[in-house]
Every structure is written in structure tokens, then in C-alpha cells.
Amino acid sequence: MMTLEGVIAAVLILSVAYFLFQSTMIISPVSDEVVYVQMRQYGQDALTIINSQTGAEDTLQYALKRINSTYTPYELLNSLEKLLPDYTDFNLQVYYVNMTTNEIEVYNITNRIPTSTTVTASTYLVIRNGNSLMIPPSSSIQQALRVPMPMSPYCWR
């Protein structure tokens, strides 16, 4: 004799569950955000480590003073690969203000194709007395640089 009440109860619970799922399931890419934050932190830490004036070959300062079409900073890229987690793919770019044209120019140290799941860590630094694209030997003035590093994990390709 309880059939009618049973049916009503079932319909009530089902409709509540349906309503709730419909309203809360909109926010789903939370795990992505957490991974982004973590990756950016890794990248930022790696860039902080290699952004130093020590004169070691794997520092940004050393590499960016010498970088041109013939010099590729393998030591720097090797160190970055060791510092970042194994599943990470990264690009390294340099933004600088061209002294003669007064425009911002970009130099890509690596040329990997970015994916849709890219997150970028970046650092700023200043170099002086170099022989590279950003700072020619004749230049006596300093050059401020922005070094962004877009990173993406392999497993999401």
C-alpha cells in the first residue's frame, strides 16, 4: 500500500539530485588550475636559480650576453631541463627594447610549438657589456630584458 509514497519519495530525491548536478557540475577544470599553479611555481623557481650574476655558464646573464645566431646556450637549457619536472616541455624567449628603433623585439632561444595548456613563468634582468643580439659590443648602456618561459606538460598533448 506504500507504492504511491515510495514513488513520490523516489521522484523527490531524483529531482533534487538532478537539480544539484546540473548547477554544480559547471566548474570542472579545477585540477587544471592546480597543475598550472604548481608548474608556474616550478618554472619561477628554476628561473630564479639561473638568474644570477655568478658568471657560471648556465646562468641567464652569461648566456644572454653572448647569444646570437652562432651561439646556442646548451648549458643553460640543460640546467633548465634538470631543474624542471621530467614531464615538462618549455620554450625560452627574450623580450628587449631595441635601442635604435625603440621598439620591443623578441628573440626565441628555443622554438617549440606551444600547446593550449601552456603556462608561463617569467623573470626580468639587466645585462651590460655583452656581444649578442640584445647588447652589441659597441653598446655602453645597459639592456633590460624580460625572459618568459612558456611551459606545457607532455601528458596533455
Question: Could you tell me the sign of the dihedral formed by the alpha carbons of 131, 49, 97, 113, in that order?
Answer: positive
Q: Which is nearer to another protein, 71 or 126 (CB)?
A: 126
Binding site for another protein (CB under 8 A): 1-2, 4-6, 8-10, 12-13, 16-17, 20, 23-24, 27, 30, 33-34, 36-37, 40, 44, 48, 53, 95-97, 104, 119, 121-126, 141-146
Find the shortest distance in angstroms from Cβ 70 to another protein.
Answer: 26
Find the shortest distance in angstroms from Cβ 71 to another protein.
Answer: 23
Asked if 127 and 145 count as a contact pair (C-beta separation under 8 A), the reply is yes
Q: Which is nearer to another protein, 30 or 155 (CB)?
A: 30
Q: Which is nearer to another protein, 66 or 146 (CB)?
A: 146
Q: Which is nearer to another protein, 48 or 68 (CB)?
A: 48
Find the shortest distance in angstroms from Cβ 63 to another protein.
Answer: 18
Find the shortest distance in angstroms from Cβ 47 to another protein.
Answer: 8
Q: At what angle do helices 30-50 and 74-83 cross, to 10 degrees?
A: 140
Find the shortest distance in angstroms from Cβ 75 to another protein.
Answer: 23
Q: Which is nearer to another protein, 79 or 143 (CB)?
A: 143
Which residues on neighbouring strands pair with residue 121, listed in sequence order?
Answer: 149
CA dihedral 38, 40, 43, 48 (to 10 degrees): -110
